[in-house]
Chains A and B, each alone.
Chain A
Amino acid sequence: MIDRRHYRWTELWLLLLPSLFLLIGLLALEIVHTQPVAINQKTLPTLDVFTPAFGLIAALLATHIMLNIVAPDADQTLLPIAGMLSSIGVLEATRLGPDEGQPSLGSKQLVFVIVGLALCVLTVWLTQKRLRWLSDYKYIWALIGIALVGVTIAHAHSFSASAPGRDVLTIGSGGLSIQPSELLKICLVIFFAAYLSENSQVLANGGFRLGPVVFPPLKQLGPLLAMLAVALLIFVFVHELGLAILIFGVFLAMVFAGTNRLSYVLSGLVAFGAFAYIYYQTIQGYARLRVDLVAVAFQPQYATNQGYQIVQGLIAFGSGGIFGVGLGLGRPAFVPAATTDYIAAAFAEEFGFAGLLAMIGLFMVLLYRGMNIANRARDPFSQLMAIGLTSIFALQTLVILAGNLKILPLTGVPLPFVAYGGSSLVANFIIIGLLLRLSQSSLADRQRRRETRDEINQFQPPAPANGAAPAKWPTADARQPKGTRAPAGRP
């Protein structure tokens, strides 16, 4: 079942590092726990704290073995990166849990990671022969995603114009709550990728020109814009602007990749700018406040109530300095929502600028590998899928980090893999699964081409019966021709 020539050694070697990280991190937490003098007023995890470590290591190894069976040639760095970020997440959840009154937060996060890994493998396995199927049923995928979110909103816990949108998009309660909006992102990427790959010619040619600017042909653009509008309106309606920005950004990235027309992207940005300006002028209440806080959070009247979270977050970043105050030695719990929205601040306080830079570096490497998979894709649909999925990671990270650092208004998008939260983690692992499948199929295709060459080389034309030369097939190039351009003179 496992071919030794194809074994994923690199991945195994790379997976050592997240395991080591978690073990050392938990060891450090243990030591800090035995120093009550310096660490008063704080609760830290107790001795059973090593369970998450072994659980995670076992899960990563199991996933690694399964990948050897279902996708042996796929990119070997994706799982280690996701594993590394997840172990940061589990470590932080373990460290912050007791501080926030939830002692088993680390174990809960670990359960989510294990479920996520299982779904990752399931995704890789189920898409084996069925990538085409994904693109054939694109409308169904899009509608499923929208229906899920619609149902969730209809059953909303608390629906008021001034409350944060997060509650509206959650279904279930307390221990087991799901946010289908995470899955909607994937469905929309599938839809956009399928639609753009099928209509790329028409869309790239453009509709009508106005000087140097080419406008997209509206008839073909119809379904695309309709789906986009529906998704955006949903999120704007519930004031979950982070997701709206995310989807719009991913959409623009995919449009550019699919049509290579910068003018489409520019006109999209202009439309966004206009809409954002109008929106800002007309809304009141919570959403507007969030935008205003970017400028005014430190002013006295805001710093202790509405701006408290942002101010504490920045103080946390600052306290970290370059090398951080040390795991378990800081006070990240002063930042509200430190385990979900502000996990980057908690991490930066204890690991410092060096640590934060490393975490950003991990995301950049993830981005690079994802685009690499896109580059090697064998057909437009796979390529656009890879670009869209990678863009989800990239934009999500950008938006939440900028929000933490008061560069952009704070929104509710979770930092991938690191923030506490099951739905986000599971959806992100599904994305990794899809990327692995795209990587495997592109390599499988290349493998098939190599085998084709072997097959041709092994073929022995028979000697003609009567000694006459065999009929020649006319081609412009006598050797194996390269490229698809038909020579002159063909019908």
Chain B
Amino acid sequence: MDSFQFLLILRIALVAILYLVILQIVLVARRDFRRVAVAPAAATTRARDVIGHLVVIDTGSTPLQPGQTLDLEPITTIGRAPTNSIVLDTNFVSTEHARIIFKDRSLWVEDMNSRNGTFLDQKRLDQPVAVAPGAILQIGDVRFRFAA
């Protein structure tokens, strides 16, 4: 076999590699596609599930507006850290202050061992409590009213 034949083989190999890359990526894409088709719940919940609202009654030292409405999701976390659903970046609020969970058809409010406590209708929470619309939630110096 002379070098030109060898070169031909190499050239075919080069072009084949190019097509192989395309093929591989198409296979990867198909695999992703199948995974999405099999688990539609995970892929399609791009919309947020809003199950209720908190209406701001007392803005405290936050930049919230009185009467402002915040959405409640199946789980809503409140705290100073930016990873929370509701971020209250002010002095009396702990990093992870409280969370509100919708489970078994009840909306539960739980204090996450915050320093200043979470108050529901002016009573400090020491264990999760289920709320109804109209209850007043106080975190730091901010107060909200639960609304449907």
Bound CA–CA A55/B111 (angstroms) = 56
- Contacts of A326 on B, CB cut-off 8 Å? 7-8, 11
- Contacts of B106 on A, CB cut-off 8 Å? 461, 470-473
Question: C-beta contact mask, B125-138 vs A, less than 8 Å → 1, else 0?
Answer: 00111111100000
Q: Which of B1-40 contact A (CB under 8 A)?
A: 3-4, 6-8, 10-15, 17-22, 24-26, 28-29, 32
Would you list the 8 A-B pairs with minimal beta carbon distance, nearest first?
A470-B130, A358-B18, A473-B107, A471-B130, A471-B132, A28-B10, A361-B22, A21-B17
Q: B102 an interface residue at 8 Å Cβ cutoff?
A: yes
Most buried by A among B14, B22, B127, B130: B14
Number of residues of chain A lying within 8 A (CB) of chain B:
65
- Contacts of B42 on A, CB cut-off 8 Å? 446, 449-450
What would 9 A/B residue contacts be, using CB atoms closer than 8 Å?
Answer: A17-B17, A18-B21, A326-B7, A326-B11, A358-B15, A462-B127, A471-B107, A475-B148, A486-B50
- Contacts of B29 on A, CB cut-off 8 Å? 77, 368-369, 372
Segment with Cβ contacts to B, from A115-123, A428-436, A477-485: A477-485
Q: A299 an interface residue at 8 Å Cβ cutoff?
A: no
Q: A128 an interface residue at 8 Å Cβ cutoff?
A: no
Tell me whether A351 and B51 are in contact (CB under 8 A): no
Number of residues of chain B lying within 8 A (CB) of chain A:
54
What is the interface of chain B, defined by CB distance below 8 A to chain A?
3-4, 6-8, 10-15, 17-22, 24-26, 28-29, 32, 42-43, 45-52, 73-75, 101-108, 110, 127-133, 147-148
Segment with Cβ contacts to B, from A29-37, A135-143, A236-244: A29-37
Chain A minimum-CB-distance residue to B147: A491
Tell me whether B25 and A369 are in contact (CB under 8 A): yes
- Contacts of A361 on B, CB cut-off 8 Å? 18-19, 22
- Contacts of A17 on B, CB cut-off 8 Å? 17, 20-21, 24
Chain B minimum-CB-distance residue to A457: B103
Bound CA–CA A18/B22 (angstroms) = 12
Q: Which of A350-375 contact B (CB under 8 A)?
A: 351-352, 354-355, 358-359, 361-362, 365, 368-369, 372
Most buried by A among B18, B49, B52, B110: B18
Bound CA–CA A74/B147 (angstroms) = 39
> Which listed residue, A28, A84, A461, touches B104 by the CB 8 Å rule?
A461
Q: A263 an interface residue at 8 Å Cβ cutoff?
A: no
Chain A minimum-CB-distance residue to B127: A462
Q: Which of A66-121 contact B (CB under 8 A)?
A: 76-77, 80-81, 84
Query: Do A80 and B21 contact each other (CB < 8 Å), given the known contacts A10-B28, A326-B7, A473-B132?
Result: yes
Query: Do A472 and B105 contact each other (CB < 8 Å), given the known contacts A21-B18, A84-B21, A358-B22?
Result: yes
- Contacts of B108 on A, CB cut-off 8 Å? 459, 461, 470
Q: A274 an interface residue at 8 Å Cβ cutoff?
A: no
Q: A456 an interface residue at 8 Å Cβ cutoff?
A: yes
- Contacts of A478 on B, CB cut-off 8 Å? 105
